A and B are shown apart, each in its own frame.
Chain A
Amino acid sequence: MIELKGVTKIYGGKVKALDDVSLSVDDGCIYGFLGPNGAGKTTTIKLMTGIIKPDSGSVLVNGLPAMSIESKKNIGFVPDDPNVFLRLKGVEYLSFMADMYEVRSAEREERIRELGARFEMSSALGDKIQSYSHGMRQKIVIMGALMHRPRVWILDEPMTGLDPKSSFELKKMMREHAELGNTVFFSTHVLEVAEKLCDKLAVISEGRILYAGDMADLKRKADTSLEKMFLEMTEHA
Chain B
Amino acid sequence: MRKIFILAKTLLKGGGAFSMSKKRRTKYLIPLVLGLSFAVFGVMMVMLTFEIFDALDSVNQADIILPLVFGATCIMVFIFGVFYVVSTMYHAKDIELLASLPIRPYQMLSAKFITLVVYEYIMEAFILVPVMVAFGVKSGVGVTYIVYCIILLAITPIIALSIASVLVMVVMRFTSFGKNKQVFKFVGSILVVGIAIGLNIGLQALTGGNRSEEQLVQMIESGTSLVSTVSNVFPGIIFASRALINSASISGVINLALFVLCSAGGIAAFLGVGQLVYTKGVAGVTESSAKRKGVSDLGKEAARISATLSYIRKEFRLLVRSPIAFLNCVMMNLIWPAILVVMMFTSGSLEMVKTLLVTMDGGLMIAILVGMSAFVSSSNATASTAISREGKQLYVTKYIPLDMSKQLIAKILTGYFLSVIGIVIIVIVGIVLGMNVGVALIALVLSLLVSAVVAVAGTLIDVSHPKLNWMNEQQAIKQNVNVLLHMLVGLLFGAVAVVPVLFASMTMVVTILYLIAVFGGILIVLVWRVRGRAAARMLDMDA
Query: Are B539 and A87 in contact, with the CB atoms below 8 A?
Result: no
Query: Are A124 and B317 in contact, with the CB atoms below 8 A?
Result: no
Give the interface segment out of B295-303, B433-441, B486-494.
B295-303
Query: Are B398 and A100 in contact, with the CB atoms below 8 A?
Result: no
Does any Cβ of B come within 8 Å of A169's Cβ? no
Interface code B285-306, partner A: CB below 8 Å = 1, 0 otherwise?
A: 0000110111110110111111
Give the interface segment out of B223-231, B254-262, B389-397.
B389-397
Distance of A127 Cα from B293 Cα, bound (Å): 7
Query: Are A104 and B304 in contact, with the CB atoms below 8 A?
Result: yes
B interface vs A, CB < 8 Å? 289-290, 292-296, 298-299, 301-307, 309-311, 313-314, 317-318, 321-322, 392-393, 395-396, 398-403, 539-543
Query: Are B310 and A96 in contact, with the CB atoms below 8 A?
Result: yes
- Interface residues in A98-114 by Cβ distance below 8 A to B read 98-105, 108-109, 112-113
Query: Are A91 and B399 in contact, with the CB atoms below 8 A?
Result: no
Query: Are A109 and B293 in contact, with the CB atoms below 8 A?
Result: no
Given contacts A84-B393, A92-B317, A98-B302, 13 further A-B contacts (CB under 8 A): A52-B398, A52-B542, A52-B543, A67-B539, A77-B399, A83-B393, A91-B301, A92-B301, A99-B304, A108-B302, A109-B299, A126-B294, A127-B293
Query: Are B304 and A75 in contact, with the CB atoms below 8 A?
Result: no
Q: Could you jot down 15 A-B contacts, CB within 8 Å?
A: A52-B398, A52-B542, A69-B401, A75-B399, A81-B392, A87-B317, A95-B302, A96-B314, A99-B307, A102-B307, A104-B304, A108-B304, A113-B298, A122-B294, A124-B292
Please pick, from A51, A112, A113, A126, the residue contacting B395 in the complex, using a CB distance under 8 A.
Answer: A51
| Chain B residues with CB under 8 A of A72 | 399-401
| Chain A residues with CB under 8 A of B400 | 72, 97, 100-101
Interchain nearest-CB distance for B399 vs A (Å): 4
| Chain A residues with CB under 8 A of B309 | 99
| Chain B residues with CB under 8 A of A46 | 395
Interchain nearest-CB distance for A97 vs B (Å): 8
| Chain A residues with CB under 8 A of B301 | 91-92, 95
Please pick, from A49, A88, A95, the residue contacting B399 in the complex, using a CB distance under 8 A.
Answer: A49
Query: Are A99 and B310 in contact, with the CB atoms below 8 A?
Result: yes
Q: Return the chain A residue nearest B289 by Cβ.
A: A131
Query: Are A85 and B295 in contact, with the CB atoms below 8 A?
Result: no
Does any Cβ of B come within 8 Å of A137's Cβ? no
| A99, A102, A108, A112 — most chain B CB neighbours (10 Å) | A99
Query: Are A112 and B293 in contact, with the CB atoms below 8 A?
Result: no
Report the interface size class on chain A. 35 or more
Distance of A16 Cα from B296 Cα, bound (Å): 50
Interchain residue pairs A-B with the least CB separation, the first 9: A99-B310, A72-B401, A87-B321, A51-B398, A126-B293, A105-B304, A73-B401, A49-B399, A100-B400
| Chain B residues with CB under 8 A of A123 | 292-294
Query: Are A125 and B314 in contact, with the CB atoms below 8 A?
Result: no
Query: Are B310 and A79 in contact, with the CB atoms below 8 A?
Result: no
Query: Are A85 and B298 in contact, with the CB atoms below 8 A?
Result: no
Q: Return the chain B residue nearest A106 by Cβ.
A: B304
Does any Cβ of B come within 8 Å of A211's Cβ? no
Please pick, from A104, A108, A126, A128, the residue contacting B295 in the complex, using a CB distance under 8 A.
Answer: A126
Q: Return the chain B residue nearest A71 by Cβ.
A: B401
| Chain B residues with CB under 8 A of A105 | 303-304
Distance of A128 Cα from B290 Cα, bound (Å): 10
| Chain B residues with CB under 8 A of A88 | 314, 317-318
| Chain A residues with CB under 8 A of B392 | 81
Main secondary structure of the interface of B (DSSP, over half): helix
Query: Are A99 and B305 in contact, with the CB atoms below 8 A?
Result: yes
Query: Are B318 and A85 in contact, with the CB atoms below 8 A?
Result: yes
Distance of A3 Cα from B125 Cα, bound (Å): 68
A interface vs B, CB < 8 Å? 11-12, 46, 49-53, 67, 69-70, 72-73, 75, 77, 79, 81, 83-85, 87-88, 91-92, 94-105, 108-109, 112-113, 122-128, 131
Query: Are A103 and B304 in contact, with the CB atoms below 8 A?
Result: yes
Interchain nearest-CB distance for B331 vs A (Å): 17
Interchain nearest-CB distance for B534 vs A (Å): 16
Distance of A166 Cα from B393 Cα, bound (Å): 24
Distance of A51 Cα from B401 Cα, bound (Å): 11
Please pick, from A53, A85, A112, A122, the residue contacting B302 in the complex, using a CB distance under 8 A.
Answer: A112
Distance of A87 Cα from B543 Cα, bound (Å): 21
Interchain nearest-CB distance for A27 vs B (Å): 21
Interchain nearest-CB distance for A105 vs B (Å): 4
| With A69-B401, A72-B399, A85-B314: A127-B292 Cβ-Cβ less than 8 Å | yes
Distance of A53 Cα from B302 Cα, bound (Å): 33
Distance of A212 Cα from B306 Cα, bound (Å): 42
Query: Are B306 and A87 in contact, with the CB atoms below 8 A?
Result: no
Q: Return the chain A residue nearest B303 by Cβ.
A: A105
Q: Return the chain A residue nearest B299 by Cβ.
A: A109
Query: Are A100 and B304 in contact, with the CB atoms below 8 A?
Result: no
Q: Return the chain A residue nearest B395 by Cβ.
A: A51
| With A85-B318, A91-B302, A112-B298: A79-B395 Cβ-Cβ less than 8 Å | yes
Query: Are B539 and A53 in contact, with the CB atoms below 8 A?
Result: yes
Interchain nearest-CB distance for B68 vs A (Å): 46
Interchain nearest-CB distance for A44 vs B (Å): 14
Query: Are B539 and A81 in contact, with the CB atoms below 8 A?
Result: no
| Chain A residues with CB under 8 A of B310 | 95-96, 99-100
| Chain A residues with CB under 8 A of B290 | 131
Distance of A29 Cα from B395 Cα, bound (Å): 27
| Chain B residues with CB under 8 A of A52 | 398, 541-543
| Chain A residues with CB under 8 A of B403 | 69
| Chain A residues with CB under 8 A of B314 | 85, 88, 92, 96
Distance of A129 Cα from B303 Cα, bound (Å): 20
Distance of A108 Cα from B298 Cα, bound (Å): 10
Distance of A126 Cα from B301 Cα, bound (Å): 10
Distance of A67 Cα from B303 Cα, bound (Å): 29
Interchain nearest-CB distance for B316 vs A (Å): 11
Distance of A69 Cα from B310 Cα, bound (Å): 17
Distance of A21 Cα from B305 Cα, bound (Å): 40
Q: Return the chain A residue nearest B406 by Cβ.
A: A69
Distance of A52 Cα from B395 Cα, bound (Å): 9
| Chain B residues with CB under 8 A of A51 | 395, 398-399, 543
| B295, B309, B539 — most chain A CB neighbours (10 Å) | B295
Distance of A145 Cα from B392 Cα, bound (Å): 19
Please pick, from B298, B321, B402, the residue contacting A91 in the complex, using a CB distance under 8 A.
Answer: B298
Distance of A95 Cα from B10 Cα, bound (Å): 42
Distance of A94 Cα from B295 Cα, bound (Å): 12
Query: Are B295 and A91 in contact, with the CB atoms below 8 A?
Result: yes
Query: Are B321 and A50 in contact, with the CB atoms below 8 A?
Result: no
Distance of A22 Cα from B419 Cα, bound (Å): 50
Distance of A104 Cα from B403 Cα, bound (Å): 19
| Chain B residues with CB under 8 A of A99 | 304-307, 309-311
| Chain A residues with CB under 8 A of B543 | 51-52
Interchain nearest-CB distance for B525 vs A (Å): 26
